Amino acid sequence: MIDIKINIMKNLLLCFLFFLFSLFGRAEEKSVDYVNTSIGAIDKRGSNCVIGPQLPYGSINPSPQTEKGGMDGYHPNYPIRGFGQLHVSGTGWSSYGHFLVSPQVGLDIDLKGHDSPHSNDVTKAYYYKTNLDRYNIVTEIAPAHYSAIYRFTYPASDESYLVFDASQSIIGDIATEMKGTVLENSVKLDSVANKIRMTIKFNGGWPGAPYYLHLAGQYNRPAEEVGMWEGDKILRGEHVLERGKQKPGQHIGAFCKFDTKEKTEILLKLAISFTSCDKAEELLLKEIPDWDFERVKESGKNSWESKLNSIDVETSSEEQKIIFYSALYRSFTLARDRSLDNSKWDSKEPFWDDNYAFWDTFRTAYPLLTLMDEPAMRDNILALIDRFKHNGCIYDGFTASVDRTGEQGGNDVDHVIVDAYLKGVKGIDWNEAYKIVKYNADHRRLGYFKSGVKTDTYKKYKELGWIPTGIMSTSQTLEFAYNDYSVALMARGLGYEADYKKYLKRSHKWINLWNPHLESHGYTGFIDAKTEDGVFANIDAVRYGGSWTSPFYEASSWTYSYYVPHDFDVLIKLMGGKDKFVERLVYGFEHRLIRYTNEPGFLATRAFTHAGRPDLSSYWVHDIMARGYDLLGYPENDDTGSMASWYVFCSLGFFPNAGQDYYYLNAPLYPKSVIKLSSGKTLTITANVSKGNVYIKSCKVNGKVWNSPFIKHDELMNAKSIEMILSETPTGWGK
């Protein structure tokens, strides 16, 4: 373990030095140059980010894979096994990792036999490069949206190979704590056209049902020999191999042998599709019709620069820029735009996939899209409307075009839709979108449901006003209450007055779970589990049970007792007034009783603001940024950009209360930020930043004094400037 930690620090130092040297001395840096995809991938403290490159919302995400690679498939201190074509970033439960490509000198088809130490890694948003030291093969990758191109530079050898594994998956092969099954598998080689096709039908990981994934690829020169392999058997000269359900570890694949001179380049281009191999080939021809690796690489760089240059942060700290733009990069990777590869139904509407999941992303990731990339936010909502028309329901997550029926929290697509509605996203029939949230409010709010299992607490929320003691019962009650509040706001805006009154009344039912007598650490009054008969369970308010447990999901009562995003005024009274509220909140932070680095605690730092102490909100936000975000990674799972977008907002100096139309202000991390908003206007935020200056002393918006710690979305979108004077000591501003 000590050696692994030392190696991680060596990798970190090398990556940081590489970035410093690559940035030093250039006349003008671009935002994309600061992205380092190793952040969150090399930390192995739980960020689980994918190190391989991807375009904004891109369908394909090629990346190296290793033994002990965890949910993202990669560990920096283990040899590279090969390169999978699709991954999900930052998740606590994995998917994909299929269609492994392994360049080799000498043929070894054993899974561990591919393994090669590596060096000289280059980890950019649009480009990945490494040297496979065992073979002295340089591997480079540049992705397009649905396709990617590889460039392998071989040494002189008459035993140079490309090995393809059609059965590979992160689930079971790398993340061995997870179970998955290959239900169908095929691989086909066309040695005349230098083409390969692979198909897998797989069941396992986050998707709740089996799915197909297909690949079409082509290599740029004829092979000296081709063949298939199955298990430990090499089938020379074979061109087709098809199998049904496979035992764990029983893989099939193909190989191509080449005679190479020193520094011979062999190129491989490929595309993936959830529809068919024919569709994959169509997408490949559309995106990469030739063998111009540099064109694909440069196009990817330009795509990212156009996305990332929407924010210009000015700071003397190169480290801060690297962390910021790497976080901004993560914010634009998932969900994925698969509008040209909808395998489920024929439609001209957008089709977005790999939503992983609304419980994670509604709080920061989607609000950032609304702010910075309204067309993408619009297309997400249009895709949800279309999905609802075809499926009749929108679940918390969908991956590989498959709905996952289990809910982590509430029906949190409601917040995504309402947040976009309240903030005026254009190009949407909002009455159609309202059908989704109204359906959830009237026919769902159903309590624990996972993998076909319903508990006896199912369907109790609307009847009782709470979900009786059981799996996730208490956290879901709180989240359903806020779902109802969000839907009420949309109902009022669209003129559905009866709905507004009904849902608003129900949104306050969370109070049913307030136990005024529950004690913890000398404080009285916490959210508690309650039986169907109305008897409190008197739980341990500190206990953290993890995922899919009773009575909270991934938090304790200390954390969830502050999760009432719509009712802070009521909560403050229940806790004994503002002073007592602040006192116990500070105690919770100082004694690590509040898990503020996971989604249920995202708003906990902002609770101070509602009690008239925005100075403490700003202090704790800066404390979390300083201790939790660095060149290694994030405090916990990035959760498909949720942690990253949390950092983006906080470092700029404002933060959303998702599902409502306002932001909290805090001291920014940078002296100056210039933001190109979705409105087409440019907002400049300035502050006298220095070490310890974490409190706002005064603020001006458009040159006028601003004494509120809140700013509405319309006010932000129409602002040209926000000027803050900061202080090293707490101030009375914003009280």
Task: Walk me through the domains of the chain, giving residue ranges and CATH numbers.
Answer: 2-307 (2.70.98.10)
pLDDT of residue 449: 56
Tokens of 25: 């001395």
582 closest CA partner among 560, 606, 598: 606
Q: For the chain, what percent of residues have pLDDT higher than 70?
A: 95
Q: Mean pLDDT across the stretch 73-97?
A: 95
Rounded to the nearest angstrom, the gap between the alpha carbon of residue 20 and the centroid of all alpha carbons in its chain is 27
Q: Is the pLDDT of residue 217 over 90?
A: yes
Q: Is the pLDDT of residue 25 over 50?
A: no
Q: For the chain, what percent of residues have pLDDT higher than 90?
A: 87
Q: Is the pLDDT of residue 682 over 60?
A: yes
Q: List beta partners, residue 149.
A: 142, 269
pLDDT tens for residues 635-666? 999 999 999 999 999 999 999 999 999 999 99
101 closest CA partner among 208, 231, 227, 198: 198
pLDDT tens for residues 491-535? 999 999 999 999 999 999 999 999 999 999 999 999 999 999 999
Q: Mean pLDDT across the stretch 671-677?
A: 97
pLDDT of residue 14: 52
Tokens of 105: 């000198």
Q: Mean pLDDT across the stretch 252-277?
A: 98
pLDDT of residue 404: 85
**DSSP reduced 3-state for 582:** helix
Q: Mean pLDDT across the stretch 321-332?
A: 98
Q: Mean pLDDT across the stretch 380-385?
A: 98
Whole-angstrom Cα distance, residue 432 to residue 407? 23
pLDDT tens for residues 153-165? 999 999 999 999 9
Question: Which helix (DSSP H) or strand (DSSP E) does residue 266 occupy?
Answer: strand 264-273
Non-local CB neighbours of 584 within 8 Å, separated by 6+ positions: 523, 575
pLDDT tens for residues 169-189? 999 999 998 899 999 999 999
Tokens of 569: 């005024």
Q: Mean pLDDT across the stretch 390-412?
A: 91
pLDDT of residue 27: 45
Whole-angstrom Cα distance, residue 671 to residue 659? 30
Give the N- to C-terminal CA distance of the chain in Å, as an integer: 49
CB 486 within 8 A of CB 414: yes
Is the full-model pTM beyond 0.85?
Answer: yes
Question: Which helix (DSSP H) or strand (DSSP E) does residue 388 occupy?
Answer: helix 374-391
The pLDDT mean for the chain works out to: 94
From 47-56, 171-180, 275-284, the region with the lowest mean pLDDT: 171-180
Rounded to the nearest angstrom, the gap between the alpha carbon of residue 40 and the centroid of all alpha carbons in its chain is 11
Q: Is the pLDDT of residue 16 over 60?
A: no
Whole-angstrom Cα distance, residue 352 to residue 93? 20
Please report which confidence band the pLDDT of residue 23 belongs to, taking 50, 70 and 90 as the band edges: low
Tokens of 385: 């409307």
Q: Beta strand 721-727 with 682-687: parallel, antiparallel or unpaired?
A: parallel
**DSSP reduced 3-state for 234:** strand
For the four alpha carbons of 155, 159, 162 and 164, in that order, the dihedral sign comes to negative
pLDDT tens for residues 688-702? 999 999 999 999 999
Please report which confidence band the pLDDT of residue 26 belongs to, taking 50, 70 and 90 as the band edges: very low
pLDDT tens for residues 239-251? 999 999 988 888 9
Q: Is the pLDDT of residue 76 over 70?
A: yes
Whole-angstrom Cα distance, residue 667 to residue 618? 6
Please report which confidence band the pLDDT of residue 447 belongs to, taking 50, 70 and 90 as the band edges: confident
For the four alpha carbons of 570, 575, 577 and 579, in that order, the dihedral sign comes to negative
pLDDT of residue 92: 86
CB 89 within 8 A of CB 146: no
Q: What is the DSSP string of 308-360?
A: HTTEEEE-S-HHHHHHHHHHHHHTTTSSEE-TT---S---SS--EE-B--HHH
